[in-house]
């Protein structure tokens, strides 16, 4: 899949104030400072689309970006979808009340947004499995939300270390899960994983519009 255009649309304080749910959308979430903005910019090919910050917890609203893509360079048909940047979970220098508000906003969006096709959960590949990531993923299972896991910053460690951490995370999930979701190893700096993630989104877009067309008949 080739992204032709990507532009910021709106930042919303709740799911009720998000743009009209008229196209498929894919949300990205992870612990603060996991490299979410850098990954979004890498996937879209726009360095300044999502604002990268050294301060954890900078994303505080539901950020919608309008994406126009096509299957390949010579494909005639354009597809419109939303990429959504969600606030990080976990540590951030904010008050307890603000953190609760974030959690309520995130849960509301994830559970109520009818056109959310898939949630991409970002996990830092430099670390062994963190309980906060495993707990969040467990909640997604309870809510029956489709998701995939993106291990970030793979260029910051050796391939051996990254592979060991990915395997350890999968092993930890297998204690509670009968089936492991799609997993991608990524690096924003080296553009690792870009093709596979975009290909997955393209396939899910095709299925989304196919189902939408069938339901109208």
Note the CATH number of domain 2-211. 3.40.50.300
Beta strands in 15-130 (DSSP E): 25-30, 62-70, 79-85, 116-124
For the chain, which residues make up each domain, given as ranges? 2-211
Per-10-residue mean pLDDT of the chain, 217 residues long, equals 93 94 96 91 88 56 94 89 89 64 88 97 97 94 96 96 97 94 96 97 94 74
pLDDT for the residue 47? 82
> How far from the centroid of its chain's Cα atoms is residue 28's Cα?
2
pLDDT for the residue 18? 96
Other beta carbons less than 10 A from residue 9's beta carbon: 15
pLDDT for the residue 91? 54
pLDDT for the residue 58? 52
Angstrom distances, CA of residue 40 to CA of 82, 121, 155: 12, 12, 16
Angstrom distances, CA of residue 188 to CA of 34, 41, 66, 116: 11, 8, 20, 24
């Amino acid at each position: 899949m080739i992204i032709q255009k990507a532009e910021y649309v709106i930042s919303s304080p709740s799911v009720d104030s998000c743009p009209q749910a008229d196209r498929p959308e894919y949300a990205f979430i992870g612990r603060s400072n996991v490299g979410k903005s850098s990954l979004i910019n890498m996937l879209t090919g726009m360095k300044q689309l999502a604002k990268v910050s050294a301060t954890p917890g900078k994303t505080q609203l539901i950020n919608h970006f309008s994406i126009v893509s096509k299957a390949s360079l010579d494909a005639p048909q354009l597809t419109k979808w939303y990429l959504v940047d969600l606030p990080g979970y976990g540590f951030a220098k904010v008050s307890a009340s603000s953190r609760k508000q974030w959690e309520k906003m995130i849960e509301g969006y994830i559970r109520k947004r009818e056109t959310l096709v898939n949630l991409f959960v970002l996990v830092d590949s430099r670390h062994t499995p963190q309980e906060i990531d495993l707990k969040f993923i467990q909640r997604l299972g309870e809510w029956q939300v489709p998701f995939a896991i993106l291990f970030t910053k793979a260029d910051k460690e050796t391939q051996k270390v990254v592979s060991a951490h990915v395997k350890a995370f999968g092993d930890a999930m297998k204690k509670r899960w009968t089936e492991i979701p799609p997993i991608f190893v990524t690096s924003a700096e080296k553009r690792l994983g870009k093709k596979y993630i975009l290909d997955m989104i393209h396939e899910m877009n095709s299925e989304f519009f196919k189902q939408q067309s069938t339901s109208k008949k």
